[in-house]
């Protein structure tokens, strides 16, 4: 009896006893306030020494940075209400200092004005921002449609523009480390690293021509990187970043292309010396595609507006647009539809084809003359005297 009563009493007392033994859990607010008291800067873990590859990358970026510039193409824009003309940036990209005379190399498409997917022309003026943050005026002094190259003369102190060291692209090997410097999305002097993924690629220029022997790299290249330098691990220029493979809605997928430096070293001096690559002179001028469509409704081909009689075009009988004193059409000019069996889409495309494959003897144009389509053969073997130099105008002269 005594034992049973004692067990009953213990059973009755257990709930209260257990409740006293179990501590009450703190509230969330109490926990927060308690841990606030421990707020203080953390102790920094000592850094491990940088690896040789990291040290080299940092060094090469610092050495190359003063030679890499930010390029803004400037074009006049007219306000349709006030008719005031202001200069505004139309495109932005990267460039690099080529030599000690203030020449900067970039991509031609950066200084190209387009609207609705159609090429309207080129800007003549650019703004170039150096690595020190100072901006200077520049002018486009040389262009190549076929190779997507433009050369700028920058009016900045020459001592502030060190040329980038030059390398060779012919000797590059797949797997070799490369560094890309540029201004992706307007973020100045960004560095990305990768390797040469492939050589001897062909890439489109937008003028229905292809750049040969292009370098493929997996170094991150995005909009704004165009015209920037591709360097080897020694900090030497081995290419100019030019194009990417992009998917709709995703942008870059990590495949970039660069014009090889061996091509640059061949083309750039010619552009500095002569403003353009010099295909054989044919002796005609054509109206810019955008103007031809706006004024005459021509959507395909080039409208000939001037022919030099003492030239291959003149001797072949090419016809130019003729207007009377009141501006009315007396004779409609030939419309050049094709060149050497290929369709002519615009004047830039024709110039690009002439740069890539300069003809030696004769060329054949497919021509619309009135309601007929004919072929005109221009004999380029006879050397005629070039016309007197004149001020540059909006019309392409070939």
CA dist 379 and 27 (Å) reads 95
74, β-bridge pairs: 89, 125
How many Cβ atoms are within 10 Å of 160's Cβ, its own excluded? 15
pTM of the model: 0.75
| Residue 297 zone, left/alpha/beta (φ > 0; ψ -120 to 50; rest) | left
CB 179 within 8 A of CB 61: yes
Domains delineated in the chain:
62-160 (2.40.10.10), 177-274 (2.40.10.10), 284-379 (2.30.42.10)
Three-class DSSP labels, 182-198 = ECHHHCCCEEEEEEEEE
- Please give the radius of gyration of the chain, using alpha carbons only, rounded to the nearest integer: 33
Active-site annotation, residues: 109, 148, 226
What is the full per-residue pLDDT of the chain (398 aa) written as tens digits? 555 554 454 454 555 554 555 666 779 999 999 999 999 999 999 999 999 999 999 999 999 999 999 999 987 665 656 655 556 667 889 999 999 999 999 999 898 876 655 566 788 889 999 999 999 999 999 999 889 999 999 999 999 999 999 999 999 999 999 999 998 877 888 999 999 999 999 887 776 677 888 999 998 888 888 899 999 999 999 999 998 876 565 555 678 899 999 999 999 999 999 998 888 889 999 988 878 888 888 888 999 999 999 999 999 999 999 988 888 888 899 999 999 998 888 888 888 888 877 777 899 999 999 999 999 999 998 765 554 444 433 345 57
CA dist 51 and 61 (Å) reads 16
Q: Which of 141, 165, 178, 187 is nearest to 67 (CA)?
A: 165
| Residue 206 zone, left/alpha/beta (φ > 0; ψ -120 to 50; rest) | left
CA dist 20 and 9 (Å) reads 17
């Amino acid at each position: 009896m005594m034992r049973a009563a004692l067990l009953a009493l213990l059973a009755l007392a257990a709930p209260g006893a257990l409740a006293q033994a179990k501590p009450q859990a703190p509230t969330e607010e109490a926990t927060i306030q308690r841990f606030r008291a421990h707020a203080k800067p953390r102790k920094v873990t000592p850094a491990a020494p940088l690896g040789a590859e990291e040290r080299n990358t940092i060094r090469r970026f610092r050495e190359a940075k003063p030679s890499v510039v930010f390029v803004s193409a400037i074009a006049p824009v007219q306000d349709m209400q006030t008719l005031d003309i202001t200069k505004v940036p139309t495109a932005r990209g990267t460039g690099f200092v080529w030599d000690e005379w203030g020449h900067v190399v970039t991509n031609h498409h950066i200084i190209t004005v387009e609207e609705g997917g159609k090429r309207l022309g080129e800007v003549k003026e650019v703004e170039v921002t150096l690595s020190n943050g100072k901006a200077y005026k520049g002018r486009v002094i040389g262009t190549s449609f076929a190779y997507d190259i433009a050369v700028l003369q920058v009016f900045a102190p020459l001592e502030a523009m060190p040329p980038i060291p030059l390398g060779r692209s012919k000797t590059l090997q797949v797997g070799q480390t490369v560094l890309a410097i540029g201004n992706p999305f307007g973020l100045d002097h960004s560095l990305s690293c990768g390797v040469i993924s492939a050589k001897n690629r062909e890439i489109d220029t937008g003028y229905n021509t292809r750049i040969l022997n292009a370098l493929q790299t997996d170094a991150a290249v995005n909009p704004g990187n165009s015209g920037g330098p591709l360097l080897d691990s020694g900090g030497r220029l081995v290419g100019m970043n030019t194009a990417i493979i992009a998917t709709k809605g995703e942008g870059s997928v990590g495949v970039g292309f660069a014009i090889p430096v061996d091509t640059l070293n061949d083309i750039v001096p010619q552009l500095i010396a002569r403003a353009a690559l010099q295909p054989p002179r044919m002796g005609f001028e054509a109206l810019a595609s955008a103007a031809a469509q706006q004024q005459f409704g021509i959507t395909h081909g080039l409208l000939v507006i001037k022919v030099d009689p003492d030239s291959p075009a003149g001797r072949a009988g090419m016809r130019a647009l003729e207007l009377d004193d009141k501006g009315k059409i007396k004779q409609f000019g030939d419309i050049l539809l094709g060149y050497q069996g290929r369709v002519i889409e615009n004047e830039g495309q024709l110039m690009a084809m002439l740069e890539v494959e300069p003809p030696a003897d004769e060329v054949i144009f497919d021509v619309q003359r009135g309601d007929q389509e004919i072929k005109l053969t221009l004999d380029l073997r006879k050397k005629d005297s070039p016309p007197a130099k004149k001020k540059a105008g909006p019309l392409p002269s070939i």
